[in-house]
Amino acid sequence: MKRKYYYLFVWTMLSVFILSCGRGNRMNNLGLKIKQSLEKTLETSLYKGVRVGIVITGATEKEALYSRLENEPLMVASVLKLVSSSAGLMLLGTKYKFRTPVMTSGSLKNGTLSGDLYLTGRGDPCLMTEHLEQAADELVRRGIRQIEGDIVYDVSFLDKEENRYGRNARNLYAPPSALTVNYNWIDVKVEGRDPPLLSLVPKTGYAQLKYDVTVSDSALPGRPDLSFRPFPWGDAYTVKGTITAWDRQYHYVWLGVSRPGLYAATLFREICSRKGIRISGLTREGKAPGDARTLVTLTSSSMKETVRRMNQESNNVIAETLCKDFGAIFDSQPGTRSKGVAVLEKFCEEKLRMEPGKFFIKDASGLDPGNCFTARQIATLLNILYNEKKLREPFVSSLAEQGHHPHALDPVPPQGISCYVKSGTLSVQGVNTAAGYIIVKKTGLVFSFVLLANREEPGPMTYSGTLTNPLLEAVFNAMINGIP
């Protein structure tokens, strides 16, 4: 009987050895296919004068199938949002929600609230117009028909900052704030052609618009000039140039507000007025007094949904607001970018196993060219998040699925492969980046990939995917041809 179990044990171990050898051979073969495919692509003239850091590995493995300049710090652009989103999920939790109270210290009698109403920002990056609508509906339900006082916006939870890029009104540069509504953007609706009619959505007294534009169906960027002038009541915007189909597809004509707190309070006041609440006072900035009580609490999305929006939309306002939130929550109020960056640096060292001094964080969105990581560091992040069972689904699903999401890169994966990606672009600096997961449906194998392409010398604009799309296509081709 003992001999029987001995032979069974030997047979089992031999089988495991044979299977592991077979798997090892398959991975070696795949690694060779990836190497051949990528290096053939990198030899083309497109990559002359371009440094490219690459790591491709199994999502549960440490050993790379292919790597190139894996330990060289390179600009990462919006791939940095993977750090911000993983910090949100790991430090605050997938179910974490921000809450924005509407408060007063006044008294309510016969439908009249005697006292100021405070819209108190607590760093929620995902409040929308519909949340303000819900708050106004609740005030009406409570019997409030008149407010004898001011609408006061309290943004003291985070510091205030001006647009880091001067009077450029592009929505990418909208400043973060403790009180953020509609991501601090205003949409520009374009109708007609000769002449075109431009209008703002939502229509609000915060904004005025002047424009001198032409409209084109071109698939190339028109990059119209967007600027603003601040006034006590809000922003006066000017749009000049050509608006193309590309500009509309990539929301290049969405406008960023300069004072998010004033914008949110103006919208809220206008909504209350439309619902029949008369307001006698001003709209102004201030702080809720210690004896203020909460009338309504606004709650938007969970952290899982917040990071999904941030990654799939590559939303800079969410990333920068979260960064300051980290500073306020884990350091002190008001939250600042420098406090938040310090939290992210500590997170990278302690949770993501990154060596101090080998990575550089200047902001949380990736807009600053000083944000640098190695391809190996980003690959380690991807594998850590994938192997955290509670975080795998929230993190992977936060990425844009190739071929199934308007913000995903080309190329569309071939049949049999799924790809989830976060991309980044600094077109003027010549930076294209992409990182995420490739899933081979037939075998269930999951691979993480990192592509960091940085132009070394001035050259033509590298719009989204210019340098990474050919590399990703090369990886797809290797996957299809290299896995039996």
**pLDDT tens digits for range 164-191:** 889 999 999 999 999 999 999 999 999 9
Please say if the pLDDT value at position 296 is more than 90.
yes
Shared domain for 237 and 338, answered yes or no, is no
Residue 449 lies in a domain: yes
367 token code pair: 């807009």
Instruction: State whether 297 and 310 are in the same domain.
Output: no
Alpha-carbon span 275 to 297, nearest angstrom: 19
- Domain end marker among 238, 266, 301: 301
CATH number of the domain within which 178 lies: 3.50.80.20
- Fill in the DSSP letter of residue 19: H
With respect to residue 362, please indicate whether it lies within any of the assigned structural domains: yes
Domain that holds residue 42: 30-93+306-482
pLDDT tops 50 at residue 236: yes
Whichever domain contains 457, its CATH number is 3.40.710.10
Nearest Cα neighbor of 88 from 341, 365, 323, 383 is 323
The alpha carbon of 130 is separated from its chain's Cα centroid by a whole number of angstroms, namely 21
Count of the separate structural domains present in the chain: 2
437 and 341 share one domain: yes
Are 358 and 415 in a shared domain?
yes
Contacts 24+ apart (CB under 8 A), 196-202: 196/243, 198/239, 200/237, 200/255, 202/129, 202/267
Give the whole-angstrom CA distance, residue 292 versus residue 279.
Answer: 19
Instruction: Tell which of 247, 274, 301 closes a domain.
Output: 301
Q: 9 lies in a domain?
A: no
Tell whether 239 and 113 lie within a shared domain.
yes
Among residues 285, 301, 317, which one ends one of the domains? 301
Let me know if residue 7 belongs to a domain. no
The confidence score (pLDDT) of residue 7 equals 55
Same domain for 312 and 285, yes or no, is no
Q: Are residues 424 and 474 in the same domain?
A: yes
The pLDDT tens digits for 135-152 are 999 999 999 999 999 999
Residue 214 falls within a domain, yes or no? yes
Helices in 58-142 by DSSP H: which ranges?
81-87, 129-141
Is 464 domain-assigned? yes
Question: What's the whole-number mean pLDDT along residues 22-26?
Answer: 56
Q: What is the pLDDT of residues 298-337, one digit of tens each?
A: 998 999 999 999 999 999 999 999 999 999 999 999 999 9
Q: Are residues 261 and 312 in the same domain?
A: no
* pLDDT, tens digit, 9 for 90 and up, residues 90-134: 999 999 999 999 999 999 999 999 999 999 999 999 999 999 999
Whether residue 173 sits in one domain with residue 66: no
Same structural domain, 50 and 167 = no
Q: Taking 50 as the threshold, does the pLDDT of residue 21 lie above it?
A: no
As a whole number, mean pLDDT of residues 239-257 equals 92
Q: Is residue 135 part of a domain?
A: yes
Say if residue 288 is in the same domain as residue 368: no
Mark whether 109 and 60 lie in a shared domain.
Answer: no
User: Is 24 among the domain residues?
Assistant: no
